Amino acid sequence: MGDIKSAFEIAMEKLKDIEEVTEDEKARWKYLPAGEKLATAYLKETVNLKTELEQYQGKAREYVGKGIENLLLSLIALPENEAATRIGSKAMEGIKSIKEDQAAAETMISQMVQIIAHYTDQGEKQRRSAYDQLKQQYSQYLQKAIQQGMEMPPGLSSDIEKHPRFQEEWRKRKNEFEARYIESLAQMKQELSQIK
């Protein structure tokens, strides 16, 4: 009959199979979160990112910078409100401040600002027009259905904008519309992250 092993012995055997953690991985685990903390403090206006980053050297500096950049890039998005717009702008400024190639970073950030401005200005007009058009189409559809003797289910509002099918269709169209902007921003964020 074989020996029965304890959970500790089984765990120790499995740990033998796992490769040893490299110094690079240890640095990444330690300094990426440090960079994220700096980015959070920057957003609260308590630190200067460039000054803080200069305190690190070698791999530590690389990973702290990457942590800052990762957090700030995640905050650059299509603005849902004024607060999101301010945070996105501040995130772009923060990223630019830690880049060595300031000119390339400024060029990419300018393009991102243009995409966001177009979404905010022209996109709003296009969304409003598409919304009104959908509302009119759906209104005509419901009127036609009622004229053909179809009854509205009890408890369902005659307000077209509150109708579940209208809301579902609007969400679908809005997502399709925003997808182009989101894709463009994602590409630009990727390019920005590759700038030294």
Q: Which residue has the tokens 């029965």?
A: 4
Burial 52-88 (b: 16+ CB within 10 A, else e): bbeebeeebbbbbbbbbbebbbebbbbbeeeeeeebb
1 three-class SS: coil
Q: CB under 8 Å to 131, separation ≥6 — which residues? A: 170
Quick: pLDDT tens for 27-78.
Answer: 888 999 999 999 999 999 889 999 999 999 999 999 999 999 999 999 999 9
Longest Cα separation, the chain: 83
Quick: pLDDT tens for 101-158.
Answer: 999 999 999 999 999 999 988 888 888 898 999 888 888 877 777 777 766 655 455 6
* Planar angle of CA 149, 152, 158, nearest 5 degrees: 120
Residue type, 66: K
Task: Kindly report the pTM of this predicted structure.
Answer: 0.76
Q: In the chain, where are the structural domains located? A: 1-74, 101-196
Mean pLDDT of the chain: 86
